[in-house]
Amino acid sequence: MASRVLAVLCLLATVLPALAVTDRDDDCAADNAGRDKPQALRLKIIAVACILVGSAIGAGVPSLGRRFPALRPDTDLFLALKAFAGGVILATGLVHILPAAFDALGSPCLVRGPWKRFPFAGLVAMLAAIATLIVDTVATGYFHRTNAKRAAAVTDEPTPGDLETSSDDHHGHAHGMSVLAAPPDDDELVRHRVISQVLELGVVVHSLIIGMSLGASDFPSTVRPLVPALTFHQLFEGIGLGGCIVQAKFRLKSVVAMALLFSLTTPVGIGVGIAISSVYDETSPTALVVQGLLEAAAAGILVYMALVDILAEDFTKPRVQSRARLQLGLNVSLLLGAGLMSLLAIWA
């Protein structure tokens, strides 16, 4: 799945710059007051370093449970951390991305086409959420059926040769084969793996777009406040994604690959933005339509994942609902994450 997400990332990084070349009307000419390309470039380099470090720290924090028992997935602290991350992802979708999609598709630079006659941003977000639901349930069902067939094959009647073995040998044989069967919590494990991979897809698309937007800007007054804002933005998103990856119990190689993909996406987007800054025009009708549609789709994915796969899954657990204090703690953590991420919308 990580390789597929990487393929999507490479496709977007290749196609978006070509679509975003200047094709705007003269009425949408950009105001060049305050443009300072060398100063903006220095700030972009600082942004790459800060965002890379922030993303890596965010994605790595949940993995510290291997060294610090308090951060293991079965602890109350981890649930609170995950609730915080769920609030962050929810605010990312509803406060950061979806309004940006509406702004792009409602821009006065879009003088042609049907974009102002219908709320396409909301429609695309809804369709993306429905598509995520379909992918979520179909993929989970597929893996459940696969595991069920594997378990059924393991429990088949023994062959005549096996019946001739001693009781001890037969016990050892059955024990060895049971490793291939789905463990009792395998359904939950499959669920977490599907969640983490779909979530990463939505986060990666969004991260690439904001990276390209920052990299293509030659205005220091625009880039400067985005450096700390996007650093914290990626830090919080990384915590949410990292928590899902930890619960999925991937092999170390897959964990590192997914964390690296997330950490590098925004810096790569900034690099692409810097490379195309001479031809990129954010007021281009084509750029506005493509950005608006992709942002809306990413918003739909993240809102669904936050509400259904992260928050509802934990908040409805008997362990949580039977403990009022834990419920209160998770609600406070959720509101804190959503509030802090919403506050960042002032700058980014």
Between CA 86 and CA 79 the distance in angstroms is 10
Task: For residues 198-222, give the mean pLDDT.
Answer: 84
* pLDDT at residue 176 is higher than 50: no
Are 226 and 345 a contacting pair, CB within 8 Å? Answer: no
Is the pLDDT reported for residue 106 higher than 80?
yes
pLDDT of residue 346: 84
Question: What does the pLDDT look like over 160-173, one tens digit per residue?
Answer: 555 444 444 444 44
Average pLDDT over residues 91-120: 87
Task: Please indicate whether residue 49 or residue 310 has the higher confidence score (pLDDT).
Answer: 49
In this prediction, residue 17 has a pLDDT band, given cuts at 50, 70 and 90, of: low
- Residue 148: both structure tokens together: 């069920």
Ramachandran class of 281: left when φ > 0, alpha when ψ lies in -120 to 50, beta otherwise: beta
Residue with tokens 């959420």: 129
User: What's this model's pTM, rounded to 2 decimal places?
Assistant: 0.72
Of 31-40, 124-133, 194-203, the poorest mean pLDDT is in 31-40
Q: In the chain, pLDDT over 70 holds for what percent of residues?
A: 80
Confidence of residue 114 (pLDDT cuts 50, 70, 90): confident
pLDDT score at 315: 92
The pLDDT value recorded for residue 109 is: 84
Name the residue with higher pLDDT: 215 or 146: 215
CA distance 298 to 229: 19
Buried b (16+ CB within 10 A) or exposed e, 121-134: bbebbbebbeebee
pLDDT of residue 30: 57
Task: Write out the DSSP string of 258-296.
Answer: HHHHHHHHHHHHHHHHHHTTTTB-TT-HHHHHHHHHHHH
Q: Which residue would you say has higher pLDDT here, 171 or 48?
A: 48
pLDDT at 260 over 80: yes
Q: What pLDDT, on the 0 to 100 scale, is given for residue 181?
A: 37
**Position 78, amino acid:** F
Which comes out higher in pLDDT, residue 282 or 27?
A: 282
Looking at per-residue confidence, does 108 or 33 come out higher?
A: 108
**pLDDT at position 127 over 90:** yes
Tell me what the mean pLDDT of segment 244-261 comes to. Answer: 86
**129-161 pLDDT, tens per residue?**
999 889 888 877 877 777 777 777 776 655 555
Mean pLDDT of all residues in 109-115: 82
The whole-number average pLDDT for the span 190-202 is 82
pLDDT > 90: what percent of the chain? 21
Query: What phi, psi does 21 have (nearest 5°)?
Result: -70, 160
pLDDT value for 32 = 63
DSSP bridge partners of 21? 280
